[in-house]
Chain A
């Protein structure tokens, strides 16, 4: 099992989230995180899905994702070849001398305090998932009251947008498996 990050460009239509999530659920895969939002193009949304699964069954899911009529493009990101970020909000107990120590940690991690009460601090953290894990690990010593995370979002490095990219694992052999114009990953 290993973590995979998949970006899915979809039409912004009712039910599309269920269709995408259903393909994972039907195979008993647990989605680690899922982030959805609008894109540069009106009418299109982008989902970023992180899933912990073997590569072979995942390939079947990405192919099935490609077949969904509302799915425009699927891209599994190469580890290290994408910029990835996540945002979290965390409320931490911060009474007495703990408050200064927490502020110090925030400085080191370059994260911001958004709200203060007599007993807590609410902190906004962004960054790579492993940085956020490290932050939470340190803050857990003080007592975390509540935590919300957006889930990971990712863009592949380089000049090209998602629509000009070829799905990893399909190249080079399987690309040539496509039509004369090259297989664009279009649905069936």
Chain B
């Protein structure tokens, strides 16, 4: 069958099962937008290419499938860069397709030319420049294979305009052959046996669960492993929802703004089992002082993560699902041999005492000011089953702290890159991918202004979601650091509560705009917002500008020096020194 390069592109995308693409057309990608009309694929026309990139990420987070975005050459591709870097840091499977100037003028500084494969090399898992129409289908196949297997990540495919226009014969390769790409997925059984032995001999084990568990769809095996082995679990920012927050073994989020129990459990653990986690500096604090007593089992599909920050006593390279299932089988076998689960009551009762004594705290005065934590708690109570999407900053940490996650893929945020402006477009992508679910974006006022234009996309494409702006009139996290570490010398962090008027802005975009200034109005407004199903809703929650996010481990400090915050109970002694019950 004769096809053009552009037709081959869409046949290949259909072959990969793509149902939604986020993008913006332009000169060099024009030929691809013609066969799009006949393709069985929905194209969501975003208002900025960065929005297309984050929407593809949100779609991938929410569905587990590869997110696809498309842009033209030059500025189109350049605007995708932030989203690609974000996807690389958070291991999100994304395929980006960019137009390129025609091959005869590549390298000539042609109109809207940018060396996008060169620019995106460090921020993609891999990228391709397609030079012949006959290579289009195979390249798309390879791109999806690379993006979705091993440690997932973004792949960019750059297609010059003349290649899109060339005729070729349609050919769909049966299999992908990439001799340099053979991810190790099967964990080594001997190492698994050693790991289980170590776990069973330990007195204070902690499962340190990262985003890899969700990406590998390993949450069921994790639940069995934790509950059958009576092993407490911390879920990192990337892994919220991997293990139910309501479970007694769940300690919640560790790290810079994690809770006391999760942070201190890791500090005092004698065995840490890292599953798809990478010992990020936001989790470890000062590395030399992190979990000083712990032997480490490190399970990761990426060999480069093992030993990168913390030496692993038992390294296991493999897919988190394969290895977790093997750990479970081996745990059952060894526990049966030993005649049951080791007695961990001392450790578990210590942990539950900490949980009781040091929960997340805040104080909501009945007459205001409105506290951000209260807003998030009320949002949770009204939309427990929602998919929650956050931007980056204080509101993101509060959302992770005060929402209760029970299921995987219900929490979406920008973890590694910390991309402000992630929430609105990512919520758009999540809502496009999961029309059956309520999607709630919890955003900061600073973040919101970076990508708010995608509300127009939401209206035009009828992809509704709720955005709750935690409007504290500041770049709040930076303001908090200036308060705590720069002697309250505030520099370039004030944004104002009312410029822009967020409710009016929402209305201008065709959404419903609501405002809440007093605690009494919170519940009714949330109920109203959730009752609107045909349009997106933006709620401007004007919260206390001076509320800080606690607990906090200052950058570079040891996790033992966690600051609990003003509302926390004052411990009678240094809690880290407290005896194990």
Contacts and interface: CB of A to CB of B under 8 A. Distances in A.
Interface of A: 10-11, 14-15, 18-19, 22, 26, 59-60, 63-64, 66-72, 173-174, 176-181, 183-188
B117 A15 contact: yes
A183 B126 contact: no
Contacts of A187: 150, 180-183
B377 interface: no
A186 B122 contact: no
B316 A188 contact: no
Contacts of B121: 15, 18-19, 22
A180 B188 contact: yes
A176 B191 contact: yes
Interface-central residue, B117, B179, B301, B303, by most chain A CB under 10 Å: B303
A59 B280 CA distance: 18
Task: Summarize B's interface: helix, strand, loop or mixed.
Answer: loop
Task: Summarize A's interface: helix, strand, loop or mixed.
Answer: loop
A124 to B, nearest CB: 35
A69 B181 contact: yes
A183 B300 CA distance: 13
B308 A188 contact: no
A60 B180 contact: no
Contacts of A177: 188, 191, 303, 306, 315-317
Nearest to B152: A188
Nearest to A169: B307
Interface in B90-122: 117-118, 121-122
Contact of A179 (B117, B184, B307): B184
Nearest to B127: A15
Contacts of B151: 188
A179 B318 contact: yes
Contacts of A59: 307
Interface residues of B, number: 35
A187 B182 CA distance: 6
Given A18-B121, A69-B178, A184-B182, A179 B303 contact: no
Interface string B184-211: 1111111100000000000000000000
Given A18-B118, A188-B304, A179 B185 contact: yes
Contacts of B182: 184, 186-187
B146 interface: yes
A60 B303 CA distance: 10
Contacts of A183: 184, 303, 317
A188 B190 contact: no
19 contacts: A11-B180, A22-B121, A59-B307, A66-B303, A68-B126, A69-B126, A69-B181, A177-B315, A178-B188, A179-B184, A184-B182, A185-B303, A186-B180, A186-B181, A186-B184, A187-B181, A187-B182, A188-B302, A188-B304
A187 B178 CA distance: 10
B184 A69 contact: no
Given A181-B186, A183-B317, 8 more contacts: A15-B117, A15-B118, A15-B129, A18-B121, A63-B304, A184-B182, A187-B181, A188-B304
A61 B118 CA distance: 19
B180 A70 contact: yes
A22 B180 contact: no
Nearest to B303: A63
Q: Which 9 A-B pairs have the closest CB atoms?
A: A186-B182, A63-B304, A177-B315, A179-B186, A188-B150, A179-B184, A69-B126, A188-B302, A188-B151
B147 to A, nearest CB: 11
Contacts of B302: 67, 188
A177 B318 CA distance: 9
Given A69-B178, A177-B316, A60 B304 contact: yes
B198 to A, nearest CB: 15
Interface in B31-65: none
Contact of B188 (A19, A22, A71, A179): A179
